[in-house]
Every structure is written in C-alpha cells, then in structure tokens.
Amino acid sequence: MVSVLIKEARLFCLSIVVLAALCVNAQAKENVFAAIPLGVEAYVYGYPLVTMEMTRRVMTNVTTPEGTRAPMGQFVRMRAYPSAEFRDVTAPNADTLYTTAWINVSQEPYVLTLPDAKDRYYLFPMLDGWTNVFQVPGKRTTGTKAQVYAITGPGWKGKLPEGVKEYKSPTNLVWLLGRIYCTGTPEDYSAVHAMQDEISLVPLSSYGKPYTPAAGKVDPAIDMKTAVREQVNALSVYDYFSLLAKLMQDNPPSPADKPMLAKLAKLGIAPGQPFDGSKLNPLAREAFSMVPKIAFEKIMLWMKEGIVAGDMKLEHGWLFTTKTGAYGVNYIQRALITAIGLGANLPQDAVYPTSEGPNVFESYNGGKNYVMHFDKGQLPPAKGFWSLTMYDKDYFFVKNPINRQSISARQNLKQNADGSVDLYIQNENPGPDKESNWLPAPKDTFVLMLRLYWPQETKPSILNGTWTIPAVKAVN
C-alpha cells in the first residue's frame, strides 16, 4: 500500500504543476479548469473500452490459432496453464484452462455450442465491450449438460433455430472467456482437452453446416511484445479519445451513460467522430496532454479510495471487492478492475482478494519468509475451487524452479497436527516436508491474489462477511 500513497502524492504534485501553469487570463483559466477534470473523467470512463480493443488486437493478430492467440471468431484452446512469459492479460488464472474467443456480432450472430461437461466445474462468461458480464453459462447457472446459445448484437432481430437460446450482447464486440477447472495431471488435461475440442463457435449462417473459418490477417503495425496496459497508457490523449469515439459507434454506451456522454460532448468527443480538441483553446490543449497520466494515477488510487467509498474492502492486508462484472455507472471501479484484472467475473462466480503486503505500510519482499495460516475447517469456502496465486509487482506470473504459479487443494496440502494448514510463501524451498505447501516467491517485490470461484453464499462466506481472510505474516 506504500506504492498507493506514493502515487497519491505524485497525483497531487501533478495537479499543482497544472495549476501553476495556468496563471493567465480568466477566460483561458476557466477553459482549462473545465477541460482537465472533464478529460480525466472521460479518460476513466473510456478506459475499459479502449483496453478491450487493444487487447483484442493483440490476441487476434494471427492467421491461425496458436498459443494464447486466435483470429476473430475462432477459439484459443489453451492446453496448459499460462507460463511466466504470458503478458497478454494482467493477473492471469493458473487454475483453469482457458477457452476464449473474440467475436464481432455486427453482421450476424454467432452460435456457441457447449458439450456435456459431466459435472465438471466450468463457466463461460460473456463480456461486452465495456467489460460487463452480460451472460455466464456454466455449472453454477445453467448446469453442465449440453447447451447451445446464439450471441446476437444490440440491433439484431430475427428467428433462431429450434433449441438455440438467444443471449443478446449490449455491444458488437464480445469476449468469450471460458474457464474449465483442471487439476493439471496428465489424465485431467486429456479429459479437459476432449471437452475443449467439442466446444464450437460458428456464424449463425453456418450453424448445422460444415464450417471452416477463414484464416486471419496479420497487421504488422500491431505491437505484439509490449504489455497491453503499457500500450494503452502510452497513447496520446488525442489518439486515446479518437479511438474511444470510433469504438463507441459499434459499441453503444448504456442508456444510463447519457449524462457522461453530455460531458464528453463538451470536449468534442462523440461516437463515430474523430477527436480533434478544437473546442479547447491553445493553453487548454497543451495542459490536456497531461490527462492520461493524471487519469491513470486516479484509477490506481481507487484501490485505496474505494475502501472509504465502500467499493473495496481491506482485511488483514487483503484488498478485495464484491463489485465486479456489472458496474452500472461506477466508472472508476470498472476502470480499476480493467487495469488490474481484465476479464473479472461476477462476484457470484469469483472473488479475487489481493494483497501487496502484510499491512498498508509494507510490501511483500522475497527477502523475507511468510506464512498464511488457516485454522481447522477454515480454508477458503468455495463451491467451485480456491487458490492462492503469486504475481510480480506488475501482476504477471513469476518464474520459479517448480513452475508453480498458484497453490490450492490440488497440491494435497499437508495439515498440522491440530488440523490447521500453513502455506509457506517464500523465495527458497522450505524443504521436502513442506514443499507441498510452498508457493514460490521472487527475490524482490511480489503480490498475492486469493481466488474463490463460486464462493459459498451461506455462512461462512466472503460475500456476506462471515468468513475473514487470514493475514500473511513474516516469520524468522
């Protein structure tokens, strides 16, 4: 949490710099004072849509499915957990095999066929362009029998084949982010691979017919090496708002966003129209270039300020929220979740407590050894599964000698004599007798994320506050 306090101070300093630079005539000052906060507000509002588009570009810029990427309208069927080199999405999951696809339903619907999962836990959330989860078939909601859905665009009207259920997307851009639980053993990998191969996605016009998707087209101008978040943050304020305006044409804002659209219009930002900043005077345009930096600082500060607002909770160094996947007009919350956990589920499906340190003044560091202790019967209460994942300071996986990115019940955790469980979080191997309970840490700063998939709704439950996350404590 020290990093958050530093960022807050930095943001304050930036504000002072802007104010100091604006000691000019009253009319110019009024224009600038209106433009800067409006620009920051607009940037925060558009951050999810711009990030989704930039992510889509990187993840679909191939001719055929390979690794973590596939062309538009085709599935990535990940056969193993993401490696430490994975950089497409922050805070990736190391407990499930992803089966994901990006589709554009502006021309026609796409039909998704899910096979009988044989009671295996899975979920198939569907995200619109603004990162809202608008449907989530899976074990919790629709069971594990075979299912068929047509994903339609916001303006589509028509008749569907018998046995096909319509899921209407609020936007033309849709991200299917399927997750199938897998223990990681060779036998379980094979079983999940067989299920993945039965999952299909075809345009409605090809449903029930032989279908071979067209090869994708590679755009050499797309940066395939830099992390998406860094690419978004590197956009100039004019490129950012021009892209936002273009994207809003095919991905209409919610009716509830009408007041925000009026604010965007004051800056010259309108769906389908390029942003040129002509409504700003020269001084305002110069100061306006600072908006991206100020706005991103504001987004990240919400990890702290959201606690006061009630959107975030802090327990024993663990920061979490039960407000994900459906945001309404809570734009700052939506932007924060986009920045640190793009693709987050509804809280009924998953809660992601995150900890940067044992308390608000200290960060975790691999120079120390830590223990997370669970009393008997107090392991995380989840009907799907739970796990504890290790990330570096930028929320990416950490390379380690046993290739373990997360720890959970599938490691056959050893219990203490009293039935309690200790997890050892440290850089060096704690020894053969404790290795089953070891989550390897880097030598420097790291971040922990606890996942509860399908969290229990009755006591004890993280959803209603009747289960408390244990602290992670440094030990000698």
pLDDT digits (tens, 9 = 90+) for 380-397: 999 999 999 999 998 899
Q: Using alpha carbons, select from 144, 76, 78 the residue that is nearest to residue 115.
A: 144
Q: Could you tell me the CATH number of the domain that includes residue 160?
A: 2.60.40.1610
Residue with tokens 């859905």: 149
Q: pLDDT: is 184 or 119 the higher one?
A: 119
Where is the domain boundary, 174, 206, 238?
206
pLDDT digits (tens, 9 = 90+) for 41-80: 999 999 999 999 999 999 999 999 998 899 999 999 999 8
Q: Could you tell me the CATH number of the domain that includes residue 429?
A: 2.60.120.1600
Q: Which pLDDT score, from 0 to 100, does residue 33 have?
A: 66
Q: Sorting pLDDT into bands at 50, 70 and 90, what band is 88?
A: low
Say what percent of the chain tops pLDDT 70. 92
Domains: count for the chain: 2
pLDDT digits (tens, 9 = 90+) for 240-269: 999 999 999 999 999 999 999 999 998 889
Where is the domain boundary, 151, 173, 206?
206
Rounded to whole angstroms, the Cα distance separating 300 from 297 reads 5
Quick count: other Cβ atoms within 10 Å of Cβ 51?
A: 22
On whether the CB atoms of residues 109 and 161 are closer than 8 A, the answer is: no
Q: Which pLDDT score, from 0 to 100, does residue 277 have?
A: 74
Determine, yes or no, domain membership for 245: no
Determine, yes or no, domain membership for 311: no
Q: Half-sphere exposure of residue 446, counting CA atoms within 13 Å on the CB side? A: 27
DSSP-based three-state secondary structure for 71: coil
Phi first, then psi: give them for residue 452, nearest 5 degrees: -125, 105
Determine, yes or no, domain membership for 214: no
Q: Using alpha carbons, select from 109, 93, 99, 150 the residue that is nearest to residue 350.
A: 93
Q: How far is Cα of residue 233 from the mean position of the Cα atoms in its chain? A: 16
Q: pLDDT: is 292 or 304 the higher one?
A: 292
Residue 19 reports pLDDT greater than 60: no
Determine, yes or no, domain membership for 89: no
Q: Sorting pLDDT into bands at 50, 70 and 90, what band is 12?
A: very low
Determine, yes or no, domain membership for 218: no
Beta strand 421-426 pairing with 369-374: antiparallel
Say what percent of the chain tops pLDDT 90. 80
Residue with tokens 């708002």: 241
Determine, yes or no, domain membership for 248: no
Determine, yes or no, domain membership for 78: no
Residue 24 reports pLDDT greater than 60: no
Determine, yes or no, domain membership for 404: yes
Structure-token pair, residue 439: 């989550």
Where is the domain boundary, 178, 206, 234?
206
Q: Sorting pLDDT into bands at 50, 70 and 90, what band is 15?
A: very low
Residue 8 reports pLDDT greater than 80: no
On whether the CB atoms of residues 378 and 419 are closer than 8 A, the answer is: no
Range of the domain at 459: 353-475
Q: Which pLDDT score, from 0 to 100, does residue 94 have?
A: 86
Q: Which pLDDT score, from 0 to 100, does residue 146 have?
A: 98
